Structure 1
Amino acid sequence: MAKKRDNLNRFFQTAVGIIAFGFSAFYFYTAGFGIFSSESHRGIYLLVTFLLSILLYPASRKYPKSKVLYVVDAIFVAMACSSVLYWMLQYKEYAIYRAGWTNQWDLIFGLLVMLVSLEVTRRVMGNVLPIIGLVMLGLTYFGPYLPGIFNHGGIRLSSMVEYYYYTDGIFGTIVNTFATYIVPFLIFGAFLNNTGGGDFFMDLATSLTGHIAGGPALIAVFSSSIFGSISGSGVANVVATGTFTIPMMKKVGYKPEFAGAVEAAASAGGQLLPPVMGAAAFVLATLTQQPYSTIALISFAPAILYYIALGFMVYFRARRSGLQGLPREELPKFSEVMKKGWYYLFTIVVVVVVIALGYPAPRTAFWGSVFVVFCSMLRKETRFTFDKLIKTFREAGTSALSVGATAGTLGIVMASLTLSGLGVKFSSLILSVGQGNLFLTLVLVAFIATIIGMGLPTTASYIILSILAAPSLIQLGIDPVPAHMVCLWFAVISNITPPVCVAAFAGASIAGAHPMKTGLNAVPLGLFMYILPFFFIYEPAIFVYGQELAVSVKIIASLLISIACFAAGFQGWFFRNLRTWERAVFLLASPLLVDTRFFTDIFGYIVVVAMAVYTYKTKKQAANPQIAA
């Protein structure tokens, strides 16, 4: 994500503050009491996103203070206002009276909003996504001249603009989802931080795990799971929690590359953890036409398993390396933390209850925000004031840009894939290469996700995968929800997979580490993010929801032990440092436990129990002489 301007004068700072405040206040109201109209709901979201992005992010990073660029900004502001306001005024008339009949003004303003969408995405998120958008426009328009799979009859420019502008492009599904779901939860996150709830959960994680071997890494795992669930962005989560956890990890002896990798892997996974999850989860619920509560419910067990796996990896690494936790006197006491803020724990209960009662997800964010404000009033130090309210709405409004700046361009990409037919063709290509083999097709989807996800935010990566890859899995007989869940998880892992691993790079910048080495350290830590999606297909009992409880418990129990075995073998510790052959035995036992056949399970359990007893009984003998790996 690009760097914001640091030279805004008082007038523009005030303007940004007022716009951001009004933006958040408007969508906070609609979250609690319903939207006014479809055109105002979508139009205001896109217009304010455009304005804030243009004001806060310079057109050129090299010359951010150039006076010429201020003229460029003014032109783009005029283009944004005119094109969005025209759409808002004409939307109903077009939908009712002249659908399919575009006039000259429709085409002009449609082209303008496309240009502004691409420019705003470039300013805030960099060049990757706008280039993809331009490529998709080219593939749609020049279809008759393209070779192979890209060839099609071509789409007239007027038809393209009409579809992008009025049908289901720039103002379509993506903008509606972002405005309906993402903004209210970003506001909820801002309320949580500014009422003292964020500090409570960070102190709680620190008091519970800080003294354990490698405790700061466990703090990162715990705190990042909570904040990542709210922020919906791996990079934003790294920045928010990593500035606190990474220095602590380095202090107890973790190498900078590993410290940055732990934070990146933990932050990326927060987008998969209920009850809030990240932005892409709301898009998934929309595309699969499932209640968000269902998506959150089936995501719980896999997400917890991922964080348990990550916890084992960092703990075993710390024990093998002889790292200690932080001294207890440097940590907040659990009793004092609970005394000051135990009531914040009920925030999770409130969110879960509201979701379980079947209320819309935006209403959940609304009541969660109201509850944390009530909690803040219980102590003088955290009491919520009108100044804090203004600060909260401003923060939420500007933080929404990290997701919102991609909305228009993603609409262009989705519309282009539909208009050109490339989505269907690409799915057919995956099926052809995979030769109808489900496992091979999953491997191909994982590979494609890694390529597509390079430099893209998770939401953008998932949306593209949902069009290109999910249909191929559905054609092989997989239900839509597991197929899309696979795409979501593979989209998240691209955040930490080299060569372009944005979350790992963010962690490296805080840790003062080599970016690529940080990414290479993050991959094995987040490996189960690649492995677990295969269970969505082959062992759907992992979802628990709609499955026999006994079967789900058996699968999850076996997975827990398998995860521990893999972490022990990979990191080389289980009660003591492990020899090479012992590590190999643990690594071989891991897949035996995830195979559901009776004999492999029994054999796996026998091996694990035998190795656990053996390593425990010989740990005293290994305490003095260092056992070489």
Structure 2
Amino acid sequence: MDKSVNLKNIFTNALGVPADAGPVKRLMHVLGALACSAITVFILYTTAFGQLPGPAQYAVVLTLGMTAIYCFYPGPLQQVNAGLDSLLSVLLIVLTVASGLYYLDQYQEIASLREGIPTPWDLTCYAVGVFCVLEAARRVEGWILIGVVAAAFIYMTHGEYMPGLLQHRPFWISEVLEYSYSYQGIFGIALGAVVDVVFVFVILGVALRVSGAGDFFNFMAMRLTRGRKSGPAQCAIIASAMFGSINGSAPANVSATGVLTIPMMRRAGYRMEFAGGVEASASCVGQIMPPIMGVGAFIMSEITGIPYSKIMLAALVPAFLFIISLMIAVALQAEKHGIESQDEETDTAMTPARRAQAVTLVAGFATLIALLFLGFSPTFCGLAATGVVLAVAQLFADTRLDLGKAVTFIVDGGRDGIAVMIACAAIGIVIASFTSTGLGIKLNQMIVAVGGDSLLVALILAATCSIILGMGLPTAASYLMVVFVAGPAIMNLGVETLQTHLFVFYYAVLSAITPPVALAVFAAAAIAKVSPLKLAARALRLSLVAFVLPIVWVYHPEINLQDLNAETWLPTTAYILALLLAVIAATAGQIGYFKVRLGYIERALMLAGAAAIVAHETPVILTGVVAVTALLGFAWLRGARAAS
């Protein structure tokens, strides 16, 4: 009896069933957990032994994922009548499965015989499928994403009334539905990137978390920063960046790590809006930090054909400069406000449990990186790394997966990926509107026309477009949508494909801390209990370097470390060191401190000197280096005299 009760508790906890849930809610959670488990098993099996044809592969995962969403996420009637809301969710599950099965059965005939001439049953399937996708997306991501998709629908159906270049021929509702529920829309490149690449790395992240290996990130961050005045803040930066790299969502990362790091910074003496700004900014770092980059690098590799190793190398220096700017900022802030070293009462001894975590973590990442550089596909590398993590974890008692952890791994492997899955499925409709109406080409023409021959103006317009269109969306979804709008316009001005995609991706990431939406900021503000506007202002200042870096590598692609040779490595290294100097000056300028408090004129001069270093002309760069060196040296001497 005790054994059966224990097993029941294990499965109840692993499946995430609320303790106070009624029988219907329990059944829904079990069904959702089974759907998530099926996703995990299906992804691992098809990755190892061969995928189904694209539309079939995507339809299976989408159907299972939407079933899980309707089981886990409450509907619009939850506050009115919970029982009726559950009934609505069951109805939507039936419709989702019906449309998914119909598409699985008919997609080959539709593609070969009925494209452009759908039958009434086809249109019924399309309409039901689109509706179910949008309702699932609304439950997970809210109304912002639905508003974007609605705008795409309106443009497709009423574009004939738009002025000038934006005008296009009228589309029938049947055409809109067909475009939306096809390989051009929902089952297109956005969902394909998630199913083919992202899910494997989500499963890898779950393996690290469930085994406890992921906890070593936090321990390592505390150990590296222990004893410093800015130790708690630097610990928060390192931990958030590491977790964010495998998390894939800045707002989710803030919610997960901010509950620990923000109070820790507050206890050290930092103001709450500063602590929240640090956490929000650091969570963005994880999205652009190799090797995983919040799975962004793998999506980029999938849609561009550029080897992952080149993308990771290209992102290395910018990510380093961003994280260094944050580390310097919190150190200067600590000195400016007289924050003393106050070690948290945390054990940083290397215990057997932590050794087990370290070995498991290193084994997984070493496998991943080694296979990637050997030229294997990202999907295979993610699968192999997951297998290594699980195998090595079983060698140690402290990381070994018992029955409960094994069930959690299988369930969460699917559950952790359904949010980005449904967002990208919905974004597929937006992409369909770009391609079917020619909107992407028209927006590119507008950016080029407004920018004229000025690459800088065009880049600023493209960056603005990336930030605005990315607001409120998951990083992967916003990147995939924006790259179709702004990407070609940048490439038309002579920028290489790799630099263009990184440019768009960076600004899609930074939209998480850019008002008015700024989801990472709102998540941090809720924890810090401060004004989101004040926190956003602080996060923007802290991330000043990140907002400039994409423009820098367009003019100085050498910092992306491509095609290095005996002739280029020395000037490349010299310029990276100059950029590091610019980062120090820019950070000191925005904090207002460098060994001594800086006046407004000194701060302005430091920012101007940093701006000169990122210029395109060598004489201007050299002038900036000399000016910044002199300003920092003078401030250092003043500080040394004041200290003595």
Three-state SS of the structure 1 residue aligned to 2:27 is helix
Asked if 1:129 is matched to 2:145, the reply is yes
- Once residues 577 and 350 of structure 1 are traced to their aligned partners in structure 2, the CA distance between those partners, rounded to angstroms, is 47
| 1:53-202 equivalence runs, <5 A | 53-60=69-76, 63=79, 65-202=81-218
- Asked whether the equivalents of residues 203 and 337 of structure 1 are also in contact (C-alpha less than 8 Å), the reply is no
The 1:594–1:65 alpha-carbon spacing in structure 2 relative to 1, beyond 3 Å, is same
Q: Which is further off, 364-373 or 7-16?
A: 7-16
**CA positional deviation for 1:334:** 6.1
Name the structure 2 match of 1:551.
Answer: 571
Q: Give the residue type in structure 2 aligned to 1:423.
A: G
Q: Which residue of structure 2 aligns with residue 448 of structure 1?
A: 465
Is 1:404 the counterpart of 2:404 in the alignment? no
Specify every segment of 5 or more residues in structure 1 that has no aligned partner in the other structure, as ranges: 625-629
Give the secondary structure class of the aligned counterpart of 1:206: helix
Question: Structure 2: how far apart are the matches of 1:224 and 1:260?
Answer: 12
Partner of 2:38: 22
Q: Is the 8 A contact 1:207 1:334 kept in 2?
A: no
Q: Counterparts of 2:569 and 2:538 in 1: how far apart (Å)?
A: 36
| 1-structure distance, mates of 2:400, 2:299 | 35
2:233 matches 1:217:
yes
Find the partner of 2:624 among 583, 594, 604. Answer: 604
1:567 aligns with 2:587: yes
Q: How is 1:315-354 mapped onto 2 (pairs within 5 angstroms)?
A: 315-327=331-343, 330-333=346-349, 339=355, 341-343=357-359, 344-354=361-371
d(CA) in 2 for partners of 1:484, 1:340: 38
Corresponding residue of 1:467? 484
1:293 to 309, 313, 318: 309
Residues 97-152 of structure 1: per-residue CA shift (max 9 Å, x gap): 44443211111101111111111111110001112112211211222233333321
Q: Judging changes above 3 Å, is the alpha-carbon distance between structure 1 residues 370 and 618 closer, same or farther for their aligned structure 2 residues? A: same
1:433 match: 450
The structure-2 alpha-carbon separation of the partners of 1:611 and 1:407, relative to structure 1 and needing over 3 Å to count, comes to closer
Contact kept, 8 Å, 2:353 with 2:399, in 1: the verdict is no
Residues 483-532 of structure 1 deviation map (CA, whole Å, 9 limit, x = unaligned): 22211111111100112100011111112222221111110111222100
Q: Distance in 2 between matches of 1:362 and 1:339?
A: 28
Q: How many angstroms does 1:441 deviate by?
A: 0.9
Single out whichever of 163-172 and 123-132 deviates more from structure 2.
163-172
Shift in Å, 1:336: 7.8
Deviations 1:12-66 (A, max 9, x none): 2222222211211221222333313334311111101111111111122761753
Conserved? CA contact 1:208–1:334, under 8 Å: no
CA distance in 1, matches of 2:302, 2:481: 14
Structure 1 CA distance for aligned equivalents of residues 632 and 152 of structure 2? 55
1:477 aligns with 2:494: yes
Secondary structure of the structure 2 residue equivalent to 1:330: coil
1:380 paired with 2:397, answer yes
**Matches of 1:596 and 1:158, distance apart in 2:** 51
Could you tell me whether the CA contact under 8 Å between 2:552 and 2:614 is conserved in 1? no
Return the letter of the residue paired with 1:10: R
Report the more deviating stretch, 60-69 or 543-552. 60-69
**Contact kept in structure 2, 1:31 and 1:363, CA below 8 Å:** yes
Equivalent position SS for 1:405:
helix
Aligned counterpart, 2:4? none
Contact kept, 8 Å, 2:266 with 2:275, in 1: the verdict is yes
Deviations 1:458-502 (A, max 9, x none): 222222211221111122122222222211111111100112100
Q: Which amino acid aligns with 1:332?
A: T
Letter in 1 for 2:611: P
Distance in 2, matches of 1:161 and 1:474, equals: 31
Question: For residues 532-551 of structure 1, what are the structure 2 equivalents within 5 Å?
Answer: 532-547=549-564, 548-551=568-571
Percent identity between matched residues is 31
Aligned-residue offset at 1:249: 0.7
Could you tell me how far apart the structure 1 residues matched to 2:144 and 2:274 are? Answer: 27
Normalised by the size of structure 2, how large is the TM-score? 0.91
Does structure 2 retain, via aligned residues, the 8 Å contact 1:45–1:175?
no
**Deviation at 1:262?**
0.7
Contact persistence 2:336–2:596 (CA under 8 A): yes
Contact 1:117–1:408 under 8 Å retained in 2: yes
Shift of 1:353: 0.5
| 8 Å Cα contact 2:254-2:520 kept in structure 1 | yes
Further displaced range: 333-342 or 261-270: 333-342
Paired position in structure 1 for 2:504:
487
Which of 602, 606, 609 is the matching residue for 1:586? 606
Aligned residue runs from structure 1 range 222-301, under 5 A: 222-301=238-317
Match status 1:503 vs 2:520: yes
Contact 1:206 1:216 in 2 (8 A): yes
- State the Cα RMSD in Å: 2.4
- Deviation of 1:209 (Å): 0.9
Deviation at 1:337, TM superposition (A): 8.3
> What whole-Å deviation, never above 9, does each CA across 1:219-258 have from its counterpart, x for those lacking one?
1211122111111111111122112211101111111111
Q: Shift in Å at residue 596 of structure 1?
A: 5.4
Q: Which residue of 2 aligns with 1:627?
A: none
* 3-state DSSP of counterpart to 1:619: helix
Q: Do 2:545 and 2:586's aligned partners in 1 also have CA atoms closer than 8 Å?
A: no
Conserved in 2, the CA contact under 8 Å of 1:309 and 1:567?
A: yes
Q: What are the ranges of 5 or more consecutive residues in structure 2 without an aligned counterpart? A: 1-16
Distance 2:440 2:344 in 1: 56
Instruction: Check 1:503–1:375 CA distance in 2 against 1; reply closer, same or farther (3 A cut).
Output: same
TM-score, with length taken from structure 1: 0.93
Matching of residue 577 in structure 1 with residue 597 in structure 2: yes
1:309 to 2:329 alignment: no
Give the Å deviation of 1:599: 3.7
| Equivalent residues of 1:570, 1:583 under 8 A apart | yes
Q: Distance in 1 between matches of 2:336 and 2:546?
A: 24
Given that 1:543 and 1:552 are in contact with CA atoms closer than 8 Å, whether structure 2 keeps it comes out as: no
Q: Deviations over 1:559-596 (max 9, x none)?
A: 11110111112212223333444434432321233335
* Distance in 2 of aligned mates of 1:206 and 1:41: 42
CA distance in 2, matches of 1:291, 1:34: 21
The 10-residue stretch of structure 1 (165-174 or 125-134) with the greater mean CA deviation from structure 2? 165-174
Residues 205 and 247, structure 2, Cα contact 8 Å, conserved in 1: yes
Asked if the contact 1:211/1:327 (under 8 Å) is kept, the reply is yes
Q: Number of matched residues? A: 622
